[in-house]
Amino acid sequence: MAVDVFAPIASRSTIQDGVYRQLRHALMIGLFEPGQTLTIASLSESFGTSHMPVREALRRLAAENALEVAANGSARIPATSRARLDDVCRARIAVESLATELAVPNITVRDIAKLEGVVREHETVGRTESVYAMLGKNQEFHFHLYGASQSEVLIQLIETLWLRFGPYMRLLTQHIEPLLKSDSSGTYSVHHHEIVAALKAKDVGAARAGIIADIEVTCDLLHGLILEERA
C-alpha cells in the first residue's frame, strides 16, 4: 500500500473525521487494489495516529459498504466482478442522471465558469501529473454539478455509490496511467464538454444524456478490463 498519500492528522478533535475523510477519498479514486487487506496497524502508522480513530473510520466505511471488515478488525477492499459492476453502474445512471436533471435549472454563470475551469484542469493534470490527481478533478466536476441539485439525499446516495465503485476505479487507473502522457488523455473529458454545453443551453435532456454517456463509457471500458483480468 502506498503510505505517503495520507497527510498527518494534527488536531485531536479532528483526528477521527480526518482519517475517515482521507480514507473515503482514497477509496473513491481507486487508491487500493480489489481484494487488498488494510490493517489497523499499518493505517495507524500511515496517519501517525492511535488505533482507535482508524478502527472507527473502517467501521463507518464498512457501514457504507465500501469495505468488508474481518473479525480481527482489519478491512478488505471488495473484489471486482462483472455482476457487481453492472449493478453499481445501473444505480449510478439512475441516481446521477436524476441529480443532473434537478441541477440544470439551478446552474449559475459562476457554476459554469467553475465547471469549465475544472475541465481544463482535468485535461492538464491528465498530461502533467498523476492519474489520481486527474481522477480527483473528475470527481470535483461531478460533485460540483450534483451539488446544484440541492438534494442532500441524492448526493449522499451518489457518494455511497462512488465508494462502492472504488475497486473498479483502481482497474481504470492501471489502464489509463500509461496513456496519460499522450494526446489521448483529453478524450476522457469529452462528455464533460458536452455536459457544460448543455448546461449553458439549459437543456435538461442533453445534460442528462451527457452524464449517462460519461458513466456508460467508463463502465463499458471496465467490463472489458475485468474480462481481460480473468481470461
Averaged pLDDT, 206-220: 96
User: What's the CATH number for 82-230?
Assistant: 1.20.120.530
In tens, the pLDDT along 47-70 reads: 999 999 999 999 999 999 899 987
Exposed, middle or buried: residue 104 (CB in 10 Å: 0-12, 13-18, 19+)? buried
- Return the pLDDT at 128: 74
Averaged pLDDT, 100-122: 97
- Say how far apart CA 118 and CA 58 lie, in whole Å: 31
- The listed range with the strongest mean pLDDT (73-82, 133-142, 188-197, 199-208) is 199-208
73 has pLDDT over 90: no
Q: In the chain, where are the structural domains located?
A: 12-76, 82-230
Angle at Cα 128 formed by Cα 125 and Cα 132, nearest 5°? 50
On whether the CB atoms of residues 189 and 123 are closer than 8 A, the answer is yes
6 has pLDDT over 80: no
Give me the architecture of the 12-76 domain, per CATH. Orthogonal Bundle (1.10)
199 has pLDDT over 90: yes
> How distant is the alpha carbon of residue 175 from its chain centre?
16
C-alpha cell at position 170: 483502481
Averaged pLDDT, 187-209: 95
Q: Which of 210, 185, 183 is CA-nearest to residue 195? A: 210
In tens, the pLDDT along 114-127 reads: 999 999 998 888 77
Answer with the residue of higher pLDDT: 2 or 128.
128
On whether the CB atoms of residues 103 and 143 are closer than 8 A, the answer is no
- Return the pLDDT at 2: 46
- Say how far apart CA 55 and CA 209 lie, in whole Å: 41
- Return the pLDDT at 158: 97
- Return the pLDDT at 177: 74
C-alpha cell at position 18: 480526518
